[in-house]
Amino acid sequence: MANTTRAPSADPAPDQPSEGYRTLLGLISHEYFHTWNVKRLRPVEFAQHDYGQENYTQLLWFFEGFTSYYDDLLLRRAHLIDDAAYLKLLTKTINQVLQTPGRAVQSVAQASMDAWVKYYRQDENTPNATVSYYTKGSLVALCLDLTLRQEGKTSLDAVMRALWLRCQGGPMTEGDLLAVLQALGGRSFALEIAQWVHGTTDLPLRPLLAAQGVKVLEEPAQLAQRLGLRVTETAGVQIKIVLRGGAAEQAGLAAGDEWLGLEVGPAKSISAWRINKLDDLLLYAANASKVCALVARDKRLLKLPLALPKSITTWRLAARDSQLIGQWLNGS
Ligand SMILES: [Zn+2]
């Protein structure tokens, strides 16, 4: 019998661009925004570029992160996407950051400073040791915007315009941003910048979104996320990344392992199965709380007891109060 239950369609509404076209629009929007924020407003260290060597700054969380915040937001303001599509894009960014254990290790200011030696030289430990100044930087912008709006004095739009005037569309420092936040927001934002930009505690996304009319729902995570793994599946299941603190790490799985199969069942009737893709695990052990992973590492075959956690979730944002959301997304 054919399976007639269908997953929610990934197709956009008829008047919405396809996912690929939306991604292209987001890229164009991002690069266009750079005309102001990077080409003109730029870190003071980049006042005179030296193209003969690496140029270091702590401010990429602002220049790439805030540009990333505005790239999707401007698609919504241009009515190229609707509120639901915008919240879906934001959901994706939030989940990317929440699924990066390195966010508890590295601040976005450090990530910016380390861009030359870490961001552009990624390896199997990158998600455990680093955080992206693009994605987390965009969430810092979101948190600032929502905080400013909820305190009722100003918005990030006004802060960006004032910053442009203060710096005459040229080199700027973190001190310039703090001064503008103080002037327009009516109080010091030094604590927020210290915690969000120079610290590693999680951003207060949930209360800020809730106060802006956005519901935060939690849904069961995909299998790779539940296990704390990143794999490729083009030639069997190849483990590329083992995330810190996950079930795979606790079982002793390692980047470079080939996951060949699994053993499942009570001691008296163990069955062993070959897997070709990660989701095959669900065929043989969907209801099990633990299995034994059979992996090849170099020339050895290993059996690794592995727990299958069920409680790992991902976020999904949904509209609760479209008027509040509209005030934010329309820029009013
Ligand atoms: Zn950029």
Distance 330 CA to ligand 1 centre (A): 23
Distance 219 CA to ligand 1 centre (A): 31
Partner residues linked to 291 by β-bridges: 306
Distance 19 CA to ligand 1 centre (A): 20
**91 domain residue, yes or no:** yes
**303 domain residue, yes or no:** yes
The rounded mean pLDDT for the chain is 92
The pLDDT, as a whole number, for residue 11 is 54
Residues 173 and 270 in one domain: no
Distance 64 CA to ligand 1 centre (A): 5
Residues 191 and 298 in one domain: no
Three-state secondary structure string covering 161-227:
HHHHHHCCCCEECHHHHHHHHHHHHCCCCHHHHHHHHCCCCCCCHHHHHHHCCEEEEEEECCHHHHH
Residues 236 and 199 in one domain: no
Distance 134 CA to ligand 1 centre (A): 8
Using the predicted structure, report yes or no on whether residue 6 has a pLDDT greater than 50.
no
Sign of the CA dihedral running 100, 113, 144, 34: negative
What ranges make up the beta strands (E) of the chain?
42-43, 171-172, 214-220, 229-232, 237-242, 258-264, 271-274, 290-297, 300-307, 313-319
In sequence order, what DSSP letters do the residues of 288-313 get, joined into one string? Answer: -SEEEEEEEETTEEEEEEEE--S--E
Residues 126 and 268 in one domain: no
Residues 271 and 129 in one domain: no
Residues 287 and 208 in one domain: no
Closest CA to 69 of 36, 32, 30: 30
CB atoms within 10 A of CB 32: 13
Q: What is the DSSP letter of 234?
A: B
Distance 168 CA to ligand 1 centre (A): 21
The pLDDT, as a whole number, for residue 239 is 97
Distance 273 CA to ligand 1 centre (A): 45
Residues 58 and 27 in one domain: yes
Mean pLDDT of 7-33: 81
Residues 259 and 125 in one domain: no
Q: Tokens in use for 95?
A: 């989940």
Residues 41 and 127 in one domain: yes
Half-sphere exposure of 32 (CA within 13 A, CB side): 11
Q: Tokens in use for 30?
A: 């991002």
The pLDDT, as a whole number, for residue 7 is 43
The pLDDT, as a whole number, for residue 101 is 95
Distance 143 CA to ligand 1 centre (A): 19
Residues 269 and 202 in one domain: no
* pLDDT tens for each residue of 188-231: 999 999 999 999 999 999 999 999 999 999 999 999 999 999 99
Number of domains in the chain: 2
Q: Which domain holds residue 73?
A: 19-220+315-329
**5 domain residue, yes or no:** no
pLDDT level of residue 310 (50, 70, 90 thresholds): confident
* pLDDT tens for each residue of 258-289: 999 999 988 788 999 999 999 999 999 878 88
> Which residues, chain by chain, have CB under 5 Å from ion ligand 1?
64
Residues 124 and 48 in one domain: yes
Residue 161: φ, ψ to 5°: -65, -45
The pLDDT, as a whole number, for residue 5 is 39
Residues 253 and 211 in one domain: no
Distance 60 CA to ligand 1 centre (A): 9
111 within 8 A of 61, measured Cβ to Cβ: yes
pLDDT level of residue 13 (50, 70, 90 thresholds): low
Bigger pLDDT: 251 vs 15:
251
Highest averaged pLDDT of the listed ranges 36-50, 117-131, 180-194: 180-194
